[in-house]
Amino acid sequence: MGMVANFLRVEEELLERFIEDPMLLEEYVYGEHMNDLNASYFSKAELELKNKNQIDIDKSWDAINYLLGNKAYIKNTNNPHLLKSIMFSDQVVDPEQDLGYGPAQYTRAAQVKNVNKELTLLNEEDVMNTEDYLDERGSKLYVVNFDNKDELKYIIDNFILLKDFYNAASENGQAVLFYVS
């Protein structure tokens, strides 16, 4: 099992509902959505879009977060702080809520557009060239060995998935929620 990073694209209005009533977020993420009570919380369209608008990058999140937050690695970007906010934005839906390994964090639609601009500056080659950026922290990442080509491909594939996800959120004017389960 382990710690899996999850991302969910939502409309700003739905994000606001989650902030006002964090139990709605928990119900949206983990609820069955098939009973009458859930139908009153969410529109049919919201429920149908949930699976389409959600990704997980499995256990690669720690390596991707490390690479995006590494000052040497992010030399190709204009605003490195934005990249670090992809997973840990410091904007928490409810600090008391635990969706697995802590509360959900969010990035508003306007912020998503800015993050996406920075992500587009990075490519697969940036991820492939990790050996120059590893330090003591990089050698102790959660379930990742940069020397293993299969694990590096796993990181790259999830990085590309995350880039595509943010691009879709930006194009659709959506906010992004992040949580670890």
- What letter does residue 143 receive in the DSSP assignment? T
Least confident stretch, 20-34, 40-54, 81-95, 103-117: 40-54
- Distance from C-alpha of 99 to C-alpha of 145, rounded to nearest angstrom: 27
Tokens 């008391």 correspond to what residue? 96
The separation between CA 164 and the C-alpha centre of its own chain, rounded to angstroms, equals: 11
CATH 3.30.930.10 fits 5-180, yes or no: no
Instruction: Express each pLDDT in 67-125 by its tens digit.
Output: 777 644 455 555 656 777 888 888 999 999 999 999 999 999 999 999 999 888 887 77
- Distance from C-alpha of 164 to C-alpha of 159, rounded to nearest angstrom: 9
For the chain, domain boundaries: 5-180
Contact 176, 15 (CB under 8 A): no
